[in-house]
Amino acid sequence: MRHPIVIALLSGSVFALSACEDSSRASVTRAIDNVTSIDQKNLAELMLVAGDPEEAVDFFTGQVEERPEDIDMLRGLARSLTRARRGSEAVPVWRRVSQHPEATNDDRVMLADAYIRANNWDEAEKTLNDIPPTHESFDRYRLEAMIADSKKQWSRADHFYETAAGLTTRPANVFNNWGYSKLTRGNPAEAEPLFMQALQHDPNLFTAKNNLALARAGQGNYSLPLVRMTQHERAKMLFTMAIAAIRKGDTTIGRTLLQDAIDTHPQHYDEAVRALRALESGGQSI
């Protein structure tokens, strides 16, 4: 008499077990999907910061083909193209990013950056002008400074360089660019302390060291600055000062500096040797 009840209970158990199995499979599938999503995100971030630029371009190109509306993948492709120095190709991708429904003002700033890298200054300025002035960021002011520089709006450029330097914990490149701007204006005395500030924030920034040597030479000071430098860097800076001296007409000092650069360089310094030979043979176009 109890068999129907037992069968019913067993049937209920089977259905319950089946439901549990289905629920378990769904949970496992969701977990795998989540892990895959996380892995893809981590891989994308790794490709952006550590991967070979061309490999990163290939990776994100494939991701965009699979998910053309994924703004993170579009951003990754645009940044990878920029890292690979393929500026003209980065512009249309950044344009796609900036037109995406989820685009931010930071994306539009990076579009302006891409325009500058592609030497399209007018479009860069127009893009920045279309961004609300309430959007204040390091990258925006860095680009505003560069555009002001290109238009020889010196006071405006100084304002934006100073603002950009205050919005980052790593302002070395800003100070270096600001100092170089002063050099192009023919003001090496004001450029020198800016290069020193750049090196205070990044003692390994060789472009700032070399520009500092150029600023000192521009003031007729041909002694190397008291900054940390390798033997190779020392030779390069002596060479820079030598060429600056020769172009100012200080050929005797230039000759001495070239010889110092040759003697200092840890290997054969072909560029300095050729310059010295040209100078000694009476060449004027160094």
Q: Which of 62-66, 154-158, 174-178 is predicted with the least confidence, judged by mean pLDDT?
A: 62-66
pLDDT score at 23: 52
Higher pLDDT, 266 or 1: 266
Tokens of 76: 């990754």
**Confidence class for position 17, pLDDT limits 50, 70, 90:** very low
Lowest mean per-residue pLDDT among 39-43, 51-55, 195-199: 39-43
Give the domain ranges of the chain. Answer: 44-115, 136-226, 230-286
> Average pLDDT for residues 124-152, to the nearest whole number?
95
Q: Which of 149, 146, 79 is CA-nearest to residue 114?
A: 79
Contacts of range 55-61, beta carbons closer than 8 Å, 24 or more positions apart:
56/80, 56/83, 56/84, 57/81, 57/84, 57/86
For tokens 């920029």, name the residue. 82
Residue 105 tokens read as 């003002």
Tokens 């007409």 belong to residue = 249
Q: Which residue has the higher pLDDT, 141 or 271?
A: 141
pLDDT of residue 57: 87
- Structure confidence at residue 43 (pLDDT): 65
Q: What is the pLDDT of residue 48?
A: 66
pLDDT higher for 114 or 50? 114
**In this predicted structure, which of 58-67, 109-118, 124-133, 231-240 has the lowest mean pLDDT?**
58-67
- The fourth-level CATH superfamily of domain 136-226 is Tetratricopeptide repeat domain (1.25.40.10)
Go through the chain and tell me how many residues it has: 286
pLDDT above 70 coverage of the chain, percent: 81
**Whose structure tokens read 């989540």?**
34
SS (H, E, C) the chain: CCHHHHHHHHHHHHHHHHHHHHHHHHHHHHHHHHHHHHHHHHHHHHHHHCCCHHHHHHHHHHHHHHCCCCHHHHHHHHHHHHHCCCHHHHHHHHHHHHCCCCCCHHHHHHHHHHHHHCCCHHHHHHHHHCCCCCCCCHHHHHHHHHHHHHCCCHHHHHHHHHHHHCCCCCCHHHHHHHHHHHHHCCCHHHHHHHHHHHHHHCCCCHHHHHHHHHHHHHCCCCCCCCCCCCHHHHHHHHHHHHHHHHHCCCHHHHHHHHHHHHHHCCCCCHHHHHHHHHHHCCCCCC
What is the residue-averaged pLDDT of the chain? 84
Considering the four listed CATH numbers 1.10.540.10, 1.10.3720.10, 1.25.40.10, 1.10.150.120, the one that applies to the domain covering 44-115 is: 1.25.40.10
Q: What is the pLDDT of residues 56-98, one digit of tens each?
A: 888 889 988 988 888 999 999 999 999 989 988 999 999 999 9
Predicted confidence (pLDDT) at residue 38 exceeds the cutoff of 90:
no
194 close to 178: Cβ distance less than 8 angstroms: yes
Is 211 within 8 Å of 180 (Cβ atoms)?
A: yes
Whether 44-115 and 136-226 share one fold: the answer is yes
The C-alpha R_g of the chain, in whole angstroms, comes to 30
What is the structure's pLDDT at 87?
87
Tokens of 238: 């002596």
